[in-house]
Structure 1
Amino acid sequence: MQIKLYQVDSFSDRPFAGNPAAVCPLGAWLDDDMLQAIAEENNLSETAFFVPEGDGFRLRWFTPEAEVDLCGHATLAAAHVLYTHLHSEKPSLHFYTRSGELVVSKEDDSPALTMDFPASYPQAISGEARAGLLNFFEGALGVRPVAVASAFDYIVEFASAADVQAVVPDHGQLSLLDGRGVVITAPGDDCDFVSRCFFPKLRVNEDPVTGSAHCELAPYWFARWQQERSEFVAKQLSRRGGTVHCRITGDGHQRVELKGTVADYCQGTITLVNP
């Protein structure tokens, strides 16, 4: 059996920046062990697999360690493959996932794709728990945070973008926490906010550009700045770096649009023997 593989860099307009993802279009599902083995062999932060379903596609994402509930950059990558390499002419692509229906749309006059995702509002942590976590994160990150909140990741706020850049994470300590991982953030100098993302339990110590984290970060800053604005330009300060354009939308501000570009890197074929 041969499977087509596309490797692209999401949230970037050029190769070797943004977040790399592998995309494997399938006609039918392989068993989960094989999907996990392919993701481990690819050794990227995410490999996306999709199968046609109804008027859209069933989409799943795997890190080298496990299947995950939500991934932004690999969803962007899957949509790019459908539009650019599989020649979809639909203005919007519908993906059915563990996190519900996700829609990615394309504008004719723009190279960027727009993803419509659920918003997750982090809950502030206060009292003794806050004091304990601030001390923990100061030890595990090397810089004293100013606030901490929790959604599906811990959101750790610092005073400045320089503090975020100065963080040297102890991944062993971070892997002891519950939840998916740790997202650190601060107001930006040349953008609205910055971030870095650490997921050691998923064998992704630092993710280059994390779309799903912006489903927490955009709502976090939307609430933090008392809903004074709903559109943000965000930068992830990893070594590769990347830019995510965010907009809070929907009834009750329960959706977030994430916009970014994708750059092709390579194409290949996976050959499976007795899958």
Structure 2
Amino acid sequence: MRIFHVNTFTDEAFSGNPASVCLLEEAKDADWMQQLAKELATPVTSFIEPANGHYRLRWFTPTMEISLCGHGTLASAHVLWNNAFAHKSDHLIFQTNIGTIEARFHDDWITLHLPAMAITEVSPPPQLRQVVEEPYEFVGKSALDYVIELSSEEAVRHASPNMEALQQLDARGVIITSASHSPDYDFISRFFSPSQGIAEDAVNGSSHACLGPYWRHKLGKETLLAYQASSRGGWLSLHVTKEKVALSGKALTVFDGLLRI
């Protein structure tokens, strides 16, 4: 059974968000997948299984199965196309626990089509005020996460969230974001999700399903460039409509090998 280590939302080594991708030769149960994800110890391990002309896809962190993972999906598409398991002219359909995700390849970019997520403005709960220091420009909540807009790019880059307080929140995680002062990007963000076993995600794709519509409304642009300002860093291109976010990024295989168990 082949396993790949892929850096996503980058085309350079030692940056972007790493993921393991496992090409299943036979069905495996969730306990086996969880044990392997713990053994590999990357932020996410993706498990791909052919299914009726499409692909069944599941994602596991070292501690739990998760319902949605953008960078794990990007890594999976990259492995299938770059190792001739699928033609680059074909679009891929992944069947997941939350529905289907479509992926396309063009000019070294992989594009995922995700449902757009709305953000509803909320009053910050007391626990959230302990996570990231005020002042806030905006506080909202998507179906998955709290979203905090801070006053500047520097505030986002220098934030040091309280992880203990973050774990008490009724959400998958917390996104902090701001407009960018760089001509290279429209906005930046960081994403924290210790409840999933990920203190800070290097580059989180699924969070941009709500960040895209948010910044589309604020900046009046359907096409956006985003940078995730983690220590590894990574960049994404977004095209946002009312219903969908087309999220594009690059990927790089670092190594691959054979699983012998």
Q: Report the TM-score, using the length of structure 2 for normalisation.
A: 0.94
Residues in 1 aligned to 2:149 and 2:92: alpha-carbon distance in whole angstroms: 34
Residues in 2 aligned to 1:138 and 1:177: alpha-carbon distance in whole angstroms: 11
1:143, CA displacement in angstroms?
A: 4.6
Secondary structure of 1:44's aligned partner: coil
Residues in 2 aligned to 1:42 and 1:189: alpha-carbon distance in whole angstroms: 38
1:118, CA displacement in angstroms?
A: 1.0
Provide Cα deviations, 1:92-117, integer angstroms capped at 9, x if missing partner: 0110112211111112xx11111111
Match of 1:171 among 154, 160, 163: 163
Spell out the pairing of 1:187-198 with structure 2 (5 A cutoff): 187-190=179-182, 191-198=185-192
Spell out the pairing of 1:34-49 with structure 2 (5 A cutoff): 34-49=32-47
Q: Where in structure 1 do 4 or more consecutive aligned residues deviate above 4 Å?
A: none
Q: Which residue of 2 aligns with 1:255?
A: 244
- Whether 2:197 is the aligned partner of 1:203: answer yes
Moved more, 53-62 or 263-272: 263-272
Moved more, 30-39 or 143-152: 143-152
Q: Contact 2:179 / 2:188 at 8 angstroms: preserved in 1?
A: yes
Q: In percent, how many aligned pairs have the same letter?
A: 34
Residues in 2 aligned to 1:58 and 1:137: alpha-carbon distance in whole angstroms: 36
Secondary structure of 2:199's aligned partner: strand
Match of 2:4 among 3, 6, 24: 6
1:224, CA displacement in angstroms?
A: 3.3
Aligned-partner residue type, residue 116 of structure 2: A
Match of 1:118 among 115, 119, 124: 115
Residues in 1 aligned to 2:134 and 2:121: alpha-carbon distance in whole angstroms: 19
Q: Which residue of 1 aligns with 2:135?
A: 144
Q: Which residue of 2 aligns with 1:186?
A: 178
Secondary structure of 1:75's aligned partner: helix
1:65, CA displacement in angstroms?
A: 1.4
Residues in 2 aligned to 1:68 and 1:122: alpha-carbon distance in whole angstroms: 21
Moved more, 263-272 or 154-163: 263-272
Give the count of matched residue pairs: 257
Q: Report the TM-score, using the length of structure 1 for normalisation.
A: 0.90
Q: Which residue of 2 aligns with 1:21?
A: 19
Aligned-CA RMSD value: 1.3
Provide Cα deviations, 1:201-236, integer angstroms capped at 9, x if missing partner: 1110000000001011101222334xx221110000
Spell out the pairing of 1:20-169 with structure 2 (5 A cutoff): 20-89=18-87, 90-107=89-106, 110-125=107-122, 130=123, 132-133=124-125, 136-151=127-142, 152-169=144-161
